[in-house]
């Protein structure tokens, strides 16, 4: 079976979009982008450098006063036009999404719909951003609070879901009146290019959204740039530490959405098949490369063996293959480096006491040119071992038994992360109690991922970051409050 190859003619050509210009090459290094489905090069891309970042920031700063002053109803109408374009052209994103990181074709239409929902929701906020008055004492005065944009926002998004991440930040940031410089990741550059092209097509003024495609050096140039007023970073904790250190030199504010090691707690009164299906989603969503995926399964001992048997059986029937094939459920991981790291973690997990009950080895045969690993399940994994404490970022689930509610809570909270958590139970008292004890920013009861919609806040505790994206909380991340006090006392004499 021959796997389909990406066609260069189907992919965006503009790694830089600055002001009203679309540029086919930057001034930085040349990247040979690799398609993870076959290990072949999709295109040679001349990326941006610090000089290109300067030009993008200048365009964003030039556009900022008019964009901030644009009446809310006009900004709202642009958002609604863009949302309609996303819906009408959602299929056009498929080539970019598949080629850049091996996303499966069934995933692509949802990404267009999701982007439309974000811009439609935050478009509705454009004409509703208002301040408040504060009663004063000690003398006649009028005091009020106004909410204003930061100015120019620098957005750095990860390779595992550039379109999802970029729209999650850009929609509230633009609604609040900021202009944007977006960095498309070097490992997955295409969907962000397509996104900014569509924003231009919708009629957003030149310079409101600018794109630079590049690697770490471009991100560093953005973080240290004096013309960028705030950074929003989505990615790994290791890179976030470097971002914060760089931003600290100018005391620049930084929003962080980072990784997770989200626990899935399955109590013995749960709907078993629902809990297994939802647990499996942690291994297949974004090819197992999602920050909020539930990959650490904590199962009560009364149903532990039955759960394992059902989970392993389901894992063996997950179709792994060509991302262009509509029947494919699980595609490749991003690179050979990632595949080597993941299999190394599996081996270490076995050494630490886990046992492989599904998958575990790289796929050969027709899959051998790409970076394919089947759904892999490790049972009996100690909660304090390396694979239970650290992100695998691949289609790997680890399973640990527990006996009591308190033990489940302690195990779930027993990592440095706090992004997501999932609870399966039919007991309403237990659901309220356990979710109240879990230290995570987003918790699902008897579900997996449904709360990730634009009107709900998303973000984490501890090493999973700070700040929120989504809902009114997400809008406020991109507004600064200004307090104004006016003396109303009559002039003396």
CA 10 distance to own-chain centroid = 25
The DSSP bridge partners found for residue 259 are none
Question: Per residue in 243-260, is it b (16+ CB within 10 Å) or e — as a string?
Answer: beebbeeeebebbbbbbb
SS (H, E, C) 281-334: HHHHHHHHCCCCCEEEEEEEHHHHHHHHHHHHHHHCCCCECCCCCCCCCECCCC
Q: Which residues, including other chains, have CB under 8 Å from residue 456's CB and lie 6 or more apart?
A: 470, 471
Q: Is 406 noted as a catalytic residue in this protein? A: no
CB atoms within 10 A of CB 119: 26
Please indicate whether residue 291 is annotated as part of the active site.
yes
User: Of 291, 385, 391, 477, which residue is the catalytic one?
Assistant: 291
> What residues have CB less than 8 Å from 215, skipping those under 6 apart?
29, 31, 47, 186
Q: Using an 8 Å Cβ cutoff, are 61 and 210 in contact?
A: no
Alpha-carbon span 191 to 185, nearest angstrom: 10
- Give me the catalytic one of 23, 100, 257, 477: 257
Phi-psi map region of 448: left, alpha, beta (phi>0 left; psi -120 to 50 alpha): beta
Say how far apart CA 87 and CA 262 lie, in whole Å: 31
State the catalytic residues.
257, 291
């Amino acid at each position: 079976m021959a796997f389909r190859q990406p066609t260069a003619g189907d992919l965006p050509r503009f790694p830089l979009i600055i002001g009203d210009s679309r540029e086919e090459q930057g001034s930085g290094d040349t990247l040979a982008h690799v398609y993870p489905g076959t290990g072949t090069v999709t295109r040679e891309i001349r990326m941006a450098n610090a000089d290109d970042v300067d030009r993008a920031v200048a365009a964003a700063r030039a556009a900022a006063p008019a964009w901030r002053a644009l009446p809310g109803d006009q900004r709202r109408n642009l958002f609604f036009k863009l949302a309609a374009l996303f819906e009408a052209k959602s299929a056009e994103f498929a080539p970019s999404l598949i080629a850049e990181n091996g996303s499966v074709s069934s995933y692509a239409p949802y990404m267009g719909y999701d982007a439309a929902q974000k811009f439609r929701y935050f478009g509705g906020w454009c004409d509703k951003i208002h301040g408040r008055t504060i009663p004063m004492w000690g003398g006649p005065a009028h005091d009020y609070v106004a909410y204003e944009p930061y100015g120019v926002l620098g957005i750095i998004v990860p390779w595992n879901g550039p379109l999802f991440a970029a729209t999650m930040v850009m929609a509230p940031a633009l609604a609040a009146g900021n202009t944007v410089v977006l960095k498309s990741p070097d490992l997955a550059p295409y969907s962000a290019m397509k996104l900014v092209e569509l924003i231009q097509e919708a009629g957003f003024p030149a310079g409101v959204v600018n794109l630079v495609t590049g690697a770490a050096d471009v991100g560093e140039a953005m973080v240290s740039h004096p013309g960028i007023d705030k950074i929003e970073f989505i990615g790994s904790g290791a890179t976030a530490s470097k971002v914060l250190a760089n931003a600290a030199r100018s005391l620049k504010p930084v929003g962080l959405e980072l990784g997770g090691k989200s626990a899935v707690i399955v109590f013995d009164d749960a709907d078993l098949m629902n809990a297994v299906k939802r647990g499996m989603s942690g291994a297949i969503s974004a090819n197992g490369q999602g920050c909020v995926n539930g990959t650490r399964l904590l199962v009560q001992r009364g149903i532990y063996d039955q759960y394992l048997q059902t989970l392993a059986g389901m894992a063996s029937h997950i179709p792994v293959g060509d991302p262009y094939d509509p029947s494919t459920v699980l595609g490749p991981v991003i690179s050979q480096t990632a595949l080597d790291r993941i299999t190394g973690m599996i081996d270490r997990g076995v050494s630490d006491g886990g046992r492989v009950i599904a998958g575990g080895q790289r796929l050969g045969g027709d899959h051998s040119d790409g970076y394919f690993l089947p759904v892999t399940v490790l049972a009996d994994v100690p909660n304090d071992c390396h694979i239970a404490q650290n992100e695998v970022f691949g289609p790997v689930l680890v399973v640990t038994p527990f006996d009591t509610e308190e033990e489940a809570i302690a195990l779930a909270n027993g990592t440095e992360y706090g992004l997501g958590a999932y609870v399966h139970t039919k007991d309403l008292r237990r659901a309220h109690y356990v979710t109240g004890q879990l230290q995570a920013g987003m918790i699902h009861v008897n579900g997996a991922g449904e709360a990730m919609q634009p009107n709900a806040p998303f973000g984490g505790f501890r090493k999973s970051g700070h700040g929120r994206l989504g809902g009114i909380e997400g809008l406020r991340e991109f507004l600064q409050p200004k307090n104004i006090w006016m003396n109303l006392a009559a002039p003396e004499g």
